[in-house]
Structure 1
Amino acid sequence: MANVSEQAVSPEVYRPEPVRRDDIIIQCVRLANVQLGIDVTGLDLQGELSASDFDYLVVDSITGGYTNILHKVTNTKNGMHVAVRIFGHKTDEFIDRSRERIIQHHLCLQGFAKHVYAHFEGGQIEEWLPGEAVSDADFHSYKYSHLIARQLHRLHTLPSQRELYLELHPHISAGVDVKFESDLWPSVWKFYNLCMANIEQLEPIIAGKFSLTELKEVSYSIRSHPNMKLQHIERMQTYCDSVRSPVVLCHGDLSKGNIVIQSEGVTFLDYEYACFMERGFDIAAHFSEFAAYDSDSKMMPSENIQRDFIRFYLGESSSEEKVDALFKEIQPFLIIPNMYWGLWGLLQCVYSSIHTDFAHYSTNRIERFLTDLESASA
């Protein structure tokens, strides 16, 4: 199998180098010499080092996701590897790096995530995870959906969730009953407010397509709740809350590029957006990835395929009543990922130094969201 451990993106994406190769090598010598098997005897690791002294370290840039840049560093003397992840420009504006570190470490101890060996300003050094990327053909043929569903259920039902939640919320006393609060809607509002703070830069991108103000204040009703007028994003939370989807630890970004196929099953990557939120959203967001880049609704999984996924998620012995209940739980969330990632995409238009068409991506997803709202109107 090919050693692939990160997101694959469209071939037209160009990824500029955010740091020099020499800087990556020096960081590895200082922070990951054990993991790479580098003999540092007699070296002053805090002093001046020359990358030319470590010419046996090879740096390969890996095609990766939409925000981060990944490098594979190999010690050619012994074949040992690490991954060096460089965070995207200004991603700290909307990604909680402290939360990410806590969740990543916790999941690593539980066998759900790879090791992070060291952090440095603007990035981190990680375990290199061998495996096989999920191809477009395999993803859209649902070849691995049964494995993904089972692994997602394991994540959502991790026994140590209460312990993790308390670590993320140290102000909560360990002796009290804990109700998990969702981070989904606070994240939506963070994205929205950051977009509004950069509205002058975004107006030329969204002009003639939609209005961010109208996105907040759009008024419509839902067929299943004909008397409920939803006038802005906040009201959508009320609609989603009505299905009482359990708040659990969620991956938050289960695209095909964040899934690695290994001999024993699948492993999820990249917990930047992981948090406690409604499981219905996490499953719905995965479904939305089948139509993600161009927001083509025809690519969304059919009801039968969704129900098959749910059966694998719950376990093949689950009753049809339970399958039906979870299917209904997921439905209100199906339109939310287009808004969520559409707002995120607008932020990339402002912050990202990666040359991809975030304007097309973000406006497509938000327009799809608005179209779906209109379809849901009474």
Structure 2
Amino acid sequence: MGLPITAGCDAAWICSDTFCTETQCLRPLRHSGAHSFGLVSILQNQMLFTDGTTNKLVGCYVEASPEDVVLVRVYGNKTELIVDRDNELKSFQVLHANGCAPRLYCTFQNGLCYEFMQGDALGTQDVRDPTILRLISREMAHIHAIHAHNGCIPKPNLWIKMRKYFSLVATEFTDQASNTRIQQEVPSQVMLEQEMVWMKEHLSKLGSPVVLCHNDLLCKNIIHNSKEGHVRFIDYEYSSYNYQAFDIGNHFNEFAGMSELDYGLYPSREMQLEWLRVYLHAYKASTKKGEEVSDRELETLYVQVNKFALASHFFWGFWALIQAKYSSINFDFLGYAVLRFNQYFKTKPAVMALQIPE
């Protein structure tokens, strides 16, 4: 028995069987010119994407048109604890309306179906390429300039979300090995909370604008279409209003990669200044504030970004501890959390010595 699903877009039916919903059968109806997207057996016509650390993602296509792919994302176990799905859909729609996101075809109880973006997902070397680097900074500026708050003054989501994650952090696991690791390698709850309180007090005073942010711009979430000469960002689960400097600092942290972190790849001051100068030109042009970028503006953003990069380590450290408890994805979330917290404490002294110019 199929259950009808509507989402203000094309109709779809998802099998009511839970297992089937996740792995076997999707029946969306999509019209695209002369093409129609009928019954699809994922087991017969699929492209499985394996890099995700939150959800399962499958590309589906009819047998005659493997290039005409529709993506089906199935939410990971307990991800409703860390992701606001209603907010994700709003962000998806706002970004699509502004030419920054693919078309959303439909949603269902444990996932969604959307348009495939042509291009290549980037790697850690790609984001350092001078040409691609400029495309990324301009696209982020474009998103940051979007006004979707209906005249209200937007508030940053960072501290609310971080506090929520902290409350959900796992302190005990079913296996003894994980319990030993968390006791020996992860800072205590008391220390983590002290650092979180200190960060909020210090970083909130830096004057970073609150803008619409992606908040999860790791390399694989950037699609480069070399034919059309642009990049687009995907996966808007963590998108929200947040500090401009957090979004950029978080992206710089992601230069290190995901599966095998290498913080030797964190962008140098010279590379950051090049990135930030292009960004400021584009952001000021998009917000009608001129295009000239002063040395003071550039240095101010540089300091803000590197300080908010500290918050990024904490945010994803908490996230990883939650995932370590609930996720069924084959990834060492606990080890990832340890590395993020270690990098926070390692870089904190030098970063906090940076001063915003008078």
Shorter-normalised TM-score: what interval?
0.7 to 0.9
Matched to 1:96, the amino acid is: D
**Is 1:261 aligned with 2:237?**
no
Deviation at 1:21, TM superposition (A): 7.1
Task: Map 1:110-149 to 2 at 5 A.
Answer: 110-149=98-137
Partner of 1:32: 29
C-alpha contact (below 8 Å) 1:69/1:85 kept by paired residues:
yes
Partner of 1:305: 271
Q: Deviations over 1:197-221 (max 9, x none)?
A: x31226433222233323335xxxx
**Is 1:96 aligned with 2:84?**
yes
Distance in 2 between the 1:38 and 1:292 partners?
35
Q: Deviations over 1:74-97 (max 9, x none)?
A: 112355321111111111111000
Matched to 2:312, the amino acid is: P
- Alignment counterpart, residue 324 of structure 1, candidates 269, 280, 299: 299
C-alpha contact (below 8 Å) 2:103/2:115 kept by paired residues:
yes
Matched to 1:350, the amino acid is: K
Higher RCO structure, 1 or 2 (CA under 8 Å, sep 6+)? 1
C-alpha contact (below 8 Å) 2:219/2:257 kept by paired residues:
no
State the number of aligned residues: 318
Normalised to the residue count of structure 1, the TM-score between the two structures is 0.77
Partner of 1:278: 243
Partner of 2:324: 349
Q: Deviations over 1:6-56 (max 9, x none)?
A: xxxxxxxxxxxxx867865642x2x3344661468xxxxxxxxxx7xx699
C-alpha contact (below 8 Å) 1:56/1:77 kept by paired residues:
no
Normalised to the residue count of structure 2, the TM-score between the two structures is 0.81
- Alignment counterpart, residue 200 of structure 1, candidates 167, 172, 191: 172
Deviation at 1:140, TM superposition (A): 4.1
Distance in 2 between the 1:125 and 1:146 partners?
30
C-alpha contact (below 8 Å) 1:83/1:127 kept by paired residues:
yes
C-alpha contact (below 8 Å) 1:62/1:71 kept by paired residues:
yes
- Alignment counterpart, residue 288 of structure 1, candidates 241, 244, 253: 253
C-alpha contact (below 8 Å) 2:38/2:62 kept by paired residues:
no
Report the CA distance shift for 1:248/1:38 in structure 2 as closer, same or farther (over 3 A). Answer: closer
C-alpha contact (below 8 Å) 1:37/1:78 kept by paired residues:
no
Partner of 1:213: 189
**Is 1:74 aligned with 2:61?**
yes
Instruction: Provide the aligned C-alpha RMSD in A.
Output: 2.7
Partner of 1:185: 159
Matched to 1:320, the amino acid is: D
Report the CA distance shift for 1:349/1:320 in structure 2 as closer, same or farther (over 3 A). Answer: same
Q: Deviations over 1:119-141 (max 9, x none)?
A: 11211111111111213332344
Distance in 2 between the 1:56 and 1:63 partners?
15
C-alpha contact (below 8 Å) 1:90/1:352 kept by paired residues:
yes
Distance in 2 between the 1:327 and 1:365 partners?
21
Deviation at 1:347, TM superposition (A): 1.1
Deviation at 1:72, TM superposition (A): 0.9
Partner of 1:12: none
**Is 1:59 aligned with 2:59?**
no
C-alpha contact (below 8 Å) 1:133/1:260 kept by paired residues:
yes
Q: Deviations over 1:335-355 (max 9, x none)?
A: 111111111111111011011
Distance in 1 between the 2:44 and 2:192 partners?
51
Q: Deviations over 1:114-160 (max 9, x none)?
A: 111111121111111111121333234455111000000010011x3
Report the CA distance shift for 1:57/1:210 in structure 2 as closer, same or farther (over 3 A). Answer: closer
Distance in 1 between the 2:103 and 2:182 partners?
40
C-alpha contact (below 8 Å) 1:185/1:237 kept by paired residues:
yes
C-alpha contact (below 8 Å) 1:73/1:83 kept by paired residues:
yes
Partner of 1:174: none
Deviation at 1:317, TM superposition (A): 4.5
Distance in 2 between the 1:147 and 1:377 partners?
30
- Alignment counterpart, residue 333 of structure 1, candidates 304, 308, 314: 308
Report the CA distance shift for 1:238/1:61 in structure 2 as closer, same or farther (over 3 A). Answer: same
Deviation at 1:235, TM superposition (A): 2.4
Matched to 2:219, the amino acid is: K
Structure 2: gaps spanning 5 or more residues: 1-17, 282-290, 354-358
Identical residues among aligned pairs (%): 27
Structure 1: gaps spanning 5 or more residues: 1-18, 41-50, 164-176, 218-230
Deviation at 1:299, TM superposition (A): 2.1
